[in-house]
Amino acid sequence: MSLNTKIAIIGGGIAGLALALNLKRQGVPCHVFETAPELKELGVGITLLPHAAREMETLGLLDAVKAIGIENKESAFFNRFGQLLYKEPRGKYAGYSLPEIGIHRGRLHMVLYKAALAALGADYITTNRTCHAVEQDDKGVTVRLRETSTGKDVEPVTAEVAIGCDGINSAVRKQFYPDEQVAFSGINTWRGVTRRKPILDGRTYMRVGSIRTGKIVIYPIIDDIDGQGNQLINWMAEIQTENVDKNDWNKSGQLDDFLPIYQGWKFDWLDVGELIRNSETILEYPMVDKDPIPRWTFGRVTFAGDAAHPMYPRGSNGAAQGLIDARTLADLLVKNSDSVAALKEYEAKRLNVTANIVRTNRAHPPDFINIRVEELTGDKPYDNLDTFITQDELRTLSDNYKRVAGFALEDVK
């Protein structure tokens, strides 16, 4: 005998839990099935842009997020010599009605998880379940599950529709695109967190250097972590090289693999090598995404979040788009009594928008500013940047990305 629910959500990450919360607040029954045996506070940093903050506000969770994150005041771009290229105010300091927040990804996940437990009840969030097949007919879907820890089959789940929210390596998506692989273009990354005194004003998101000669993104995610005024600083180092092996995201990062690039980056405002060496943890990842696909929806099954549109972790947009997917899909399932039609309408609203962001994150991400200045200056320190490119031209590059990504000031109400 199978377990029955209206909406089966495969994956209990950010998108899956947000979808469950959006459905529950509108009275739609759902059940979340998560691969991990236990949900824990894992990962490093993430930034919630104003359009992501809007989604958290809709769920009634923005205050909880603000309480454990850091509100950014500005974003600043530097070359690898520590010279300021361009800076701009962010979030409320840029005129948005909502903030931009740096936060530990694990803490954000736990906010959503605890809210989902309270709203749905523990019986409707099942961990230790791996989806290995989704079958469907005119009446509904059957989700075949195994116990993750043992590999044993458990009773299947029947539902009106199933939503794959199971990340970049989605088992649900793989059923419809069995030969698909992640796209790797030679960019490897290393991530870590370091406890130290605030950098600059302690409220700045920093991009230093470029992927061609070494780039690092730095921003605070926890304030006064030890009662002595230190912050937890998130950093991500990126480098693009030819004919390089892809990093393994199941391994810890090794300093010798990347520290030599940054060892000499000693500025009057930061010693980058010291920041990296003092990290509490180092993780390695390949910079990967997947090519946009022509469809997400197959009858009673669709994808959301990273399962639908895995994108480079640039521009802080992956989580935002997953949260928008969740609200859009939930609203359409409530509005339309025909669940199959609702899934198709969801795809029509979201597929092309997110495909454009995936392509933009590859070709013209926010740090294209750093790349462009490096090209113009010959990768050398400058005396007067205006002789190469004006601040207005750099502002245009930044604004263009915001427009494509859906968080231009006029787009976030």
Which residue from 86, 118, 362 is spatially nearest to 207, judged by alpha carbons?
A: 86
CATH number of the domain that residue 27 is part of: 3.50.50.60
CA–CA distance, 100 with 47 (Å, rounded to integer): 7
User: 3-state SS of the chain?
Assistant: CCEECCEEEECCCHHHHHHHHHHHCCCCCEEEECCCCCCCCCCCEEEECHHHHHHHHHCCCHHHHHHHCEECCEEEEECCCCCEEEEEECHHHHCCCCCCEEEEHHHHHHHHHHHHHHHHCHHHEECCEEEEEEEECCCCEEEEEEECCCCCEEEEEEECEEEECCCCCCHHHHHHCCCCCCEEEEEEEEEEEEEECCCCCCCEEEEEEECCCEEEEEEEEECCCCCCCCEEEEEEEEEECCCCCCCCCCCECCHHHCHHHHCCCECCCCEHHHHHHCCCEEEEEEEEECCCCCCCCECCEEECHHHCCCCCCCCCCHHHHHHHHHHHHHHHHHHCCCHHHHHHHHHHHHHHHHHHHHHHHHHCCCCHHHHHHHHHHCCCCCCCHHHCCCHHHHHHHHHHHHHHHCCCHHHCC
For residue 24, the Cα-to-chain-centroid distance in whole angstroms is 23
In a domain, 317, yes or no: yes
In this structure, is residue 109 part of a structural domain? yes
Residue 348: domain span:
3-47+105-181+293-363
* pLDDT tens string 153-195: 999 999 999 999 999 999 999 999 999 998 888 889 999 999 9
User: Which pLDDT score, from 0 to 100, does residue 3 have?
Assistant: 59
Write the pLDDT tens digit of every residue in 10-31. Answer: 999 999 999 999 999 999 999 9
What pLDDT does 322 receive? 96
The answer to whether position 394 is within a domain reads no
Non-local CB neighbours of 411 within 8 Å, separated by 6+ positions: 51, 403
Q: Has residue 256 been placed in a domain?
A: no
Instruction: Identify the pLDDT of residue 401.
Output: 80
- In a domain, residue 145? The reply is yes
d(CA 317, CA 309): 11
Residue 193 lies in a domain: no
Residue 8 domain-assigned (yes or no): yes
The structure tokens 């019986």 sit at 123
Number of domains in the chain: 1
pTM score: 0.93
Phi, psi of 333 (to 5 degrees): -70, -30
Q: Convert the pLDDT of each residue in 363-399 to its tens digit.
A: 777 788 999 999 999 999 999 999 999 999 999 988 8
Q: Is residue 159 part of a domain?
A: yes
Q: Which two tokens stand for residue 261?
A: 């690039």
> What are the beta bridge partners of residue 153?
146
The residue ranges of the chain whose pLDDT is under 70 are 1-3, 243, 315, 413
